[in-house]
Structure formats: structure tokens, C-alpha cells
Structure 1
Amino acid sequence: MYACDQEGPANPVTPNPPLGKDEQIVTAVRHWTDRLFSFRVSRPRSLRFRSGEFVMIGLEGDNGKPLLRAYSIASPSWDEELEFYSIKVPDGPLTSRLQSIKTGDRILLRPKPTGTLVLDALIPGKRLFMFSTGTGIAPFASLIRDPETYEKFEQVVLTHTCRNVADLDYGRTLVEGLADDPLIGEFIEGKLKYYPTITQEDFSTTGRITDLLDSGKMFEDLGIAPMSAETDRAMICGSMGLNNDLKRLLEERGLTEGANNRPAEYVLEKAFVG
């Protein structure tokens, strides 16, 4: 029997308490693997951000103090909600609890976006390479859904390196759905190239992205010209080891590191949730 069919006096509806300071409502949660999940939350009306930036999000700690970490916003700047992509760390102070959130729960979000993985931090070029590992794909999930990315670059190459094939599901699902996206579909046609690689299982492309870049195999696989400082720009988001290795490889090819106040040929994000 449905509740509306039950006899007797109706139970009074208890209204949800208003959102507290820095609180937002979880609107969706999806678990991709036993180690990875994504979730969406309501967006503060006052929040303005550039695709690729990050904010501090978290939960109240057991001691009543906020437990916050830097998370890249995976949704584009035009989205009415905010999306995040996270790893599950069993003994992690935050992710051990964050992985259990459900639709309707509340999380803390400090609406002060920042970060270096923004188009403004790069000088004009023809190709944009986005190098990511694991959950480092999050800021690029934002940027590849932003029309401005394709207005500024003739070609966009997104690389995503993971340990296991299942770890690619979030990024692959996103990329495959872009062609049918009513807003972005027309922008990506012939412009977006996706290059997933795996390091610990058999896959069509195996190996660390640094090795595939250095050997030239990445360019051969994609059928594109090698990197040139004159035309190419790059963004990096991954572990500190990846950041340092790619930084060296890019600078060997003549690219220099940029920032918001000093645009150049490549940028990397030092705030990374792993």
C-alpha cells in the first residue's frame, strides 16, 4: 500500500533545516570501482569559478572542526551543480567517510576557487595537451566540457594513465558522451583526442605516459606531430612524481612553466587529492 492510501491522520512533514554556513546538498553519487567514486552537489549561488580550478570540500570532524581537502571541480563553469571525482582511502581522515555519502546528505564547501590549471595561465597556442593520472583527470573533466577550450585551441589531447582498466571508466564514459552533449558536441568534433593508458594490466596502450611521450609512441599512436614549444601548450595533474617527470620532459622540449600572473607554455597543479 502506498503511504497516500493509508488511513488515519497524516504524519506532519518535518521540513529540512536550512543550509548552514558553507553547507551544500549532495544531489548524486556514483561508485565507479571499489576505489573510485564521483558525486555532485548543489552550487552556491555566489560561486563563480574558471573551469579547471579547485575548492576546499569536506565534512565535520569528530571534534566538531571542519575536515577539508582540496578537490578539483570536475564540472564546467557553466554547470548548475558541482561535480567531484575522488579516490577512496580506507584509513584516510576524509575519504574514509566521504565515500559513504548519499543523495540528500550535506557536505562542507568553501566557495573560494583557485588553481593553476586554467586557460588564462597559458599563452595562445594551437594544441593543448592535458596529462593526468588517476583522479587527476578531474580538472580536465571540467575543461573538456567548456566551449572556451575549443575556441582557444584547434586540437585538445587528453591523456589518462591508471593502474587498472576499470579505473578508466569515469573518464571514458565522460568522453564518449560528449559527442551527444547538446552544448559541447558541436565544439569537440575533430578536435578532442583521448589517449588512455594502463600500467598494471593488459590494455591496448600500456605504460607510463612519461615513457610514451619520451619515446614518441604517443604521437605515433595518435597520428599527430611531435610536441613543439611554438604551437603546443600543456597542463599536468597527477602525483608529485608525475608532475616532476613531465615538467622535465616538457622543459627539454622548450616549454616553460606558467602561472595565473605569468602565462607561459605549460602549467601543473600542486594541490592534488590522492
Structure 2
Amino acid sequence: MAGEKVLNDVTIEKPVLEPTGALSVETVLSVRHWNEHLFSFRITRPASFRFRSGEFVMIGLQGDNGKPLLRAYSVASPAWDEELEFLSIKVQDGPLTSKLQLIQPGDQIYLGRKPTGTLVTDALLPGKRLFMLSTGTGLAPFLSLARDPDVYEFYEQVVVVHSVRRVSDLAFQDELSGKLADDPLVAEQAASQFHYVPTVTREPFRNNVRIDKLVESGALFEGIPGEARFNPETDRIMMCGSMEMIKQFGAYFEEQGFAEGSNAAPGAYVIERAFVG
């Protein structure tokens, strides 16, 4: 029954959400808990909802004051998917995530009607290799892009780099390590064009240093056709994750002759300014 959940034989009433001009109300379809502080979930997608792979949108639940409590989340599913997927951390005292981590299939959730963002191919100039550098849940928009067939038409090589603290934080590791072999639209292209470079900084792993050290040593480029360095003429960069990583690499790429791009003026690298201020 909508609006009710039974927990330990006790019926808990959940508020029935009402759509607004800016928000639709969607249904949670599945939830996947990766570890005690990381989860992903899929929700219904309105027929009218259109977005570019890599964009973000507002999602949320009803706050304690009865009003929508919203946060910006990158869509982790590609633009062609009939469902919408998101990746989230669990913050025990977080206004939204303390509630969001408890969602179950059948629950209602708010979805903004207007996705936006700069982590899109439109904000980049044409190039040969696309490198997507991420930490933590910054992987989300790159999950969307890596499963978009258009990306493989635009770039000869598509590289997702994901840095986390623990091995269990490597969400979607099996799918990415398998070069998206089960993906219905990109599996054939990804077999030769897609590359996944995971690194774990606080537990034993084949790569156990931060992204900057992978770049310095050349390990980031192993197995990827082309130079073992970033070239502003042919390489395009997207970054999403910690402020520290984005600031460090933003300065690095500027020094290397990369110009930041936007939807209005495409460039050689992009970050999501809505998340970093």
C-alpha cells in the first residue's frame, strides 16, 4: 500500500509526496548498498525527462518541515536508459542522506524537472582521448558518459579513472573492469575503446596511490594508445570529486596549456562548477 512500510511488524506511515511545478514524484525501483557509507539506487523516469549524459538534477525527500529537502545529484545512468540511477554517500547526520540511505523499493522520491551541468561532451572541443578523473561519488556522471554510444563516436579512447580510500568504495568495479560487456549499446565499442583505472589509497590494491602519482609515474596511461602524458591538442579532460583533486588538477592542466570549457565556450577540460563553487 502506498505510503506505508512494515518494519518489524510495525506499520510506519511514509508521507505521500505531491508534485510541484519544479518537481515530479518518482518511485524507487531498486537500492544497492556497496558498503556502510555508499549506496546507489534506481528510480522511475518520467517520459518528459530529457538530459545529456553527465548532467545533474535535484532529487530529494520531504523534510521535517513538510517541504521538499533537495540536493544536486549527477545522473549515473546514460541518457538512453528508461530508468534513472544515482550514487550517494551515507552521512548519518546529513539532512538528506540520513533519510535517503533508508529508502526501499516502492518509496517515493522527488525529482527535479530541469537537469543541467557542464560535465557534457558539448562543453569540450573535439579530441582523440577523453579522460574522466573522479574521486568517491564523483564517479557518477562518468558512469553515465561511459555508457553513452555518442561518446565512443566522439573519442577514440574513453578512460575512467576512479580514486577511493577502500576497495569496497569502488562502486561498479565489476562492470567497469569488464569493459561494460553487458551493456546493450556500447559493449562492442567499449571492448576496444574503454579503459578503467581504479586506485585505492588506504588498502592494498594494484594501484594504491592518488591520481597525481599515477600521472607522474605514467601508470595512468598504461595500456591506453597514445602518449604517456596529457596533450592539450588531442586529450580532453573531465573532473568530478573532491575539491582538493579538482583544484590541484585544474591548476596542473592550466599550466599544461588546457583551457577550461563550458556549454557556451567549449574547451579542453571541464569541471562541474555547481559542485565546487
TM-score computed with the length of structure 1 as normaliser: 0.89
Q: Which amino acid aligns with 1:138?
A: A
Letter in 2 for 1:257: E
Segment drifting more, 94-103 vs 264-273 = 264-273
CA change 1:171–1:19 in 2 (3 A) is: farther
Would you say the 8 A contact 1:214–1:249 is kept in 2? Answer: no
Which of 206, 211, 236 is 2:239 aligned to? 236
Alignment of 1:80-159 (within 5 A): 80-159=82-161
| 8 Å Cα contact 1:137/1:171 also seen in 2 | no
Q: SS at the partner of 1:250?
A: helix
Using the TM superposition, name which of 101-110 and 175-184 deviates more. Answer: 175-184
Cα gap change, 1:130/1:18 in structure 2, threshold over 3 Å: closer, same or farther? closer
Provide the secondary structure at the position in 2 that maps to 1:251. helix
Deviations 1:82-135 (A, max 9, x none): 000000011111001000000000001111100000000000000000000000
* Per-residue Cα deviation, 1:37-73 (whole angstroms, up to 9, x for no partner): 0000011111110000000000010101111000000
Structure 1 alignment gaps of length 5 or more: 1-16
Taking a change above 3 Å as real, the CA distance of residues 219 and 251 of structure 1, as seen in their structure-2 partners, is same
- Matches of 1:227 and 1:235, distance apart in 2: 13
Could you say what secondary structure the match of 1:178 adopts? Answer: coil
Q: Does 2:246 align with 1:246?
A: no
Please, what is the CA RMSD of the aligned residues?
A: 1.8
**Contact 1:141–1:171 (8 Å) recurs in 2:** no
AA aligned opposite 1:200:
R
Report the equivalent of 1:13: none
**1:50 matched residue in structure 2:** 52
Is 1:217 the counterpart of 2:228 in the alignment?
A: no
Q: Secondary structure at the match of 1:113?
A: coil
* Structure 2 counterpart SS, 1:249: helix
What amino acid sits opposite 2:251 in the alignment?
R
Kept in 1, the 8 Å contact 2:17–2:62? The answer is no
Match of 1:37 in 2: 39
Q: CA deviation at 1:222?
A: 5.0
AA at the equivalent of 1:61: G
Distance 1:40 1:195, change over 3 A: same
Letter in structure 1 aligned against 2:96: L
Quote the residue 2:19 is aligned against: 20
In structure 1, the partner of 2:75 is 73
The 1:18/1:96 distance shift into structure 2, 3 A limit, reads closer
In structure 1, C-alpha distance between the alignment counterparts of 2:226 and 2:170, rounded to whole Å: 23
1:6 corresponds to which residue?
none
Aligned to 2:11: none
Instruction: Quote the offset at 1:221 in angstroms.
Output: 6.6
Query: C-alpha separation between the residues in 1 aligned to 2:218 and 2:250?
Result: 16
Question: Structure 2 counterpart of 1:129, which letter?
Answer: F
Match of 1:176 among 174, 178, 199: 178
* Distance apart, 1:195 and its partner CA: 0.3
Structure index of larger Rg = 1
2:128, 2:63 → 1: CA distance?
46
Residue in 2 aligned with 1:10?
none
The AA in structure 2 aligned to 1:270 is R
* Count of aligned residue pairs for this structure pair: 257
Cα deviation for residue 241 of structure 1 reads 1.1
Counterparts of 1:175 and 1:42 in 2: how far apart (Å)?
27
Percent identity over the alignment? 58
CA distance in structure 2 between the aligned counterparts of 1:103 and 1:116, rounded to whole angstroms = 31
Match of 1:266 among 262, 269, 272: 269
